[in-house]
Structure 1
Amino acid sequence: MNATVEQLAPVEQQATTGWVVAALYQFKEVQDAAALKERLLNLVGSINLCGTLIVADEGINGTVAGDRVAIDAVHQFLLDEGFTSMEYKESHSAEKPFRKMKIKLKKEIVTLGVEVKPRDLVGHYLDPKEWNELIARDDVILIDTRNDYEYKAGTFKGAVDPKTETFREFPDYVKKELEQHKDKKIAMFCTGGIRCEKSTSLLLQEGFNEVYHLKGGILKYLEETPADESLWEGECFVFDGRTAVTHGMEEGANIKCHACGWPLVPAEVELPSYEHGVSCVYCINKTTDKQKEGFRMRQSQILAAKRKRL
C-alpha cells in the first residue's frame, strides 16, 4: 500500500443543537482499502460530518462528529460494509470538535510499527466491574498504553506511565521494562480500546502469560461507571476540540495548549507562561521567540476567520 493518502470533504456549520461524536474501530480484513476509502468519500461529501476516519487492510478507525442524521448514515454505511463488530461509542460536544472531514489510507489503523495479529492473539477483555476488581490487586502491573500528554490529563490509580510520545515507542518500552515480568498479570488500557488490541497482541506474541485489557477503553468505563465507584483519577484526553472528558462523558475542565498539544488544568492556564495559542508551562522554554511570533500570527488568523463566520 502506498504512503498516507488524504482527501478532504467540506463540512457545513452545525445547527445549534450541538454535535454527536462517534468514536469507532474494528480490526477486520479489508479486501480493497483504497476502494473503501473512495466509497467513504462519496458518502461524507453528501452529509454534514467532520473528523477523521483511517482505513487500512486491517480495518477502520476514527472519530467523527455531525448531526444525528449524519452519524446514523456513516454508522449504517459501515455496518453494510461488514463492520458489524465495531467498538462504537457516542458522546456530545456543544462546539464543533473538528475543523474538517478527513479520510486517510494507511498501513495500520493505529500505528505500532511492529506486525501483530490482533484478530488472532487477543488478551482477556474485562468490563468495568471486572476491571476494578483486577487492578485493585497487588499482583497486577497496570500499564497506561497512551502517550505522556494523555497520561498527564488523567489515568487509573496506580497506573504505570511508559513515558512514550507516540504509540510506536511502546514495543521498545516492552523490551526494556517488561521483559522480566512475563509471569506477571499485565493489565493495559487506552482511550477507546484500539491501542490495547495491539499492545495485548504484542505481549502475547512476546510470550507473556496473562494479559488483560479494558474492553471499550476509558471512554466506555467513564460512560458506565459511577464516579463514586470509579478508580479513574483526573480527566480523559480526547483528540478533538473538547480536550478531555470525565464521568458520564461530560466535557472536562482541561484545555489544550495549541502550541504543544498538552492538556492544561485551569490553574496552569492562570500561570504567566500561558499565552493562548502561543505557549504554556510545558513548552514556553522549548520554542524560540521567532516561533512564538509565528504562533501569535497563526492565532490572530484563526480569530479573524472566526469573526468572519459570525
Structure 2
Amino acid sequence: MPAARAEPGVGVAALYQFTRFDDPEALKEPLLAACETAGVKGTLLLACEGINGTIAGGDKALASVLGTIRALPGCADLDVKFSTAPAMPFQRMKVRVKREIVTMGEPDIDPTLSVGTYVDPHDWNALIADPDTLVIDTRNDYEVAIGTFAGAVDPATPSFRDFPAWFRAHREELLAGKKKVAMFCTGGIRCEKSTSFLRSEGVDEVYHLRGGILRYLEQVPEEQSLWQGECFVFDERVSLRHGLEPGTRAICRPCGRPLARGEACPVCESGNAAP
C-alpha cells in the first residue's frame, strides 16, 4: 500500500507479476470496472503469463485497485514501485489482453520456472563494478539514450523483441572473460524475462536488479549512485531523476521519443520540437 504523501500530486504505481492466468480475457472487464470505479487511470496488460502496467490515482483509489489485483491468482505478493506526478500522467484507463505482458517473442520462456538471481538496489553497485560482470541494459535504444548505468552495454535495439537475436549474434564477444551477467530495466520486468532467456541459452550465473531502475533511484543516494542521466518512463512525466523527481525531458508527439525541452526531433520526419 502506498505511504501517505505530504506533498501534493498523484500517486503512480508501476507493477508486474509473472503468474499463470488460464483465461486472461475473463479478467479484463472486472479489472477495468474496478479501475474506473476507483477513478484510476493508466494501462494494464493481461496475458497467460501474468500482468504488467502502470496506473495512477489517489492513495485510496490505488489501494483499492491493487487489492483487486493481489486477489488474482498468483498475485498476492505483487511488487509495486510507487512514485508521484504533479498531475494525472494518463488520459484514460486501458486494460488489454495480449499474447505476452512484455513482448520477447520466445514462446518457451517462462520466468515462473527459471529466472536469474534478484539483486537489491543497495547491493547493485558492487555487482556491476566487478570486472567479472557483464552489465546489459535491456531497454530500448531511445530509453538508453537519456540515461543508463556506468559501464553498461547498450544493445541499441529499437524493441525488446530484438533482444534475443542481438544476444545470440553477439554472445561470444559479450561473454568473453566474464563470469556473471547483470541486467536491468525500468521496473524489473524486462530484465527478469531476459534472465530467464539467458538461462535457457545455457548462461547460469545471471542477475537482475530488483525493482529496476525506479527502485534504485528511489533507494540509492545520488552521491553513491552509478546511474548517469535520467530514466525514461512510459507516461506524461517522460523521465525521472534520483529520488524519483521529475526529469527534464519532453516527448516528441509524432514518434514518442524523449527529447531535451525545445530540441527538434532528429528521427521524426515532421521535425516537431518538444514543448
Counterpart in the other structure of 2:249: 254
**Conserved 8 A contact 1:19-1:94:** yes
Q: Which runs of 5+ in 2 are unaligned?
A: 1-6
Counterpart in the other structure of 1:303: none
Give me the TM-score of the superposition, normalised by structure 2.
Answer: 0.91
**Conserved 8 A contact 2:136-2:184:** yes
Is 1:98–2:90 an aligned residue pair?
A: yes
The 2-side partners of 1:42 and 1:261 are apart by 29
Give me the TM-score of the superposition, normalised by structure 1.
Answer: 0.81
Over the residues paired in the alignment, what is the CA RMSD in angstroms?
Answer: 2.0
SS at match of 1:149: helix
Counterpart in the other structure of 2:193: 198
Instruction: Name which one, 1 or 2, has greater alpha-carbon Rg.
Output: 1
Counterpart in the other structure of 1:160: 153
Per mean C-alpha deviation after superposition, the further-off stretch among 87-96 and 38-47 is: 38-47
The amino acid across from 2:93 in the alignment is: M
* Displacement after TM superposition at 1:171 (Å): 0.5
The 2-side partners of 1:179 and 1:101 are apart by 44
**Conserved 8 A contact 2:136-2:153:** yes
**Conserved 8 A contact 2:47-2:97:** yes
Is 1:73–2:103 an aligned residue pair?
A: no
* Displacement after TM superposition at 1:178 (Å): 1.9
The 2-side partners of 1:105 and 1:111 are apart by 12
Counterpart in the other structure of 1:50: 41
Per mean C-alpha deviation after superposition, the further-off stretch among 87-96 and 20-29 is: 87-96
SS at match of 2:37: coil
1:206-217 mapped onto 2 (5 Å cutoff): 206-217=201-212
Counterpart in the other structure of 1:149: 142
**Conserved 8 A contact 2:47-2:98:** yes
The amino acid across from 1:57 in the alignment is: C
* Displacement after TM superposition at 1:179 (Å): 4.2
**Conserved 8 A contact 1:238-1:244:** yes
The amino acid across from 2:65 in the alignment is: V
The 2-side partners of 1:114 and 1:126 are apart by 24
The 1-side partners of 2:172 and 2:29 are apart by 42
**Conserved 8 A contact 2:36-2:93:** no
**Conserved 8 A contact 1:89-1:220:** yes
The 2-side partners of 1:45 and 1:39 are apart by 10
The 1-side partners of 2:207 and 2:138 are apart by 12
* Displacement after TM superposition at 1:31 (Å): 2.4
The amino acid across from 1:202 in the alignment is: F
Is 1:243–2:262 an aligned residue pair?
A: no
The amino acid across from 2:98 in the alignment is: K
1:118 to 99, 106, 111: 111
1:32 to 11, 15, 23: 23
The 2-side partners of 1:184 and 1:147 are apart by 25
* Displacement after TM superposition at 1:263 (Å): 1.6
Counterpart in the other structure of 1:89: 81
The 1-side partners of 2:87 and 2:146 are apart by 21
* Displacement after TM superposition at 1:69 (Å): 2.0
* Displacement after TM superposition at 1:262 (Å): 1.8
SS at match of 1:46: helix
Counterpart in the other structure of 1:107: 99
The 1-side partners of 2:8 and 2:227 are apart by 30
Counterpart in the other structure of 1:139: 132
The 1-side partners of 2:27 and 2:85 are apart by 28
**Conserved 8 A contact 1:184-1:209:** no
**Conserved 8 A contact 1:146-1:167:** yes
**Conserved 8 A contact 1:125-1:214:** yes
* Displacement after TM superposition at 1:87 (Å): 2.1
* 1:47-74 Cα distance to aligned partner (Å, 9 max, x none): 2111100011111000001112211111
1:149-188 mapped onto 2 (5 Å cutoff): 149-179=142-172, 181=175, 184-188=179-183
1:230 to 225, 230, 241: 225
Figure out how many residues of one structure are paired with residues of the other and give that number.
265
* Displacement after TM superposition at 1:17 (Å): 4.2
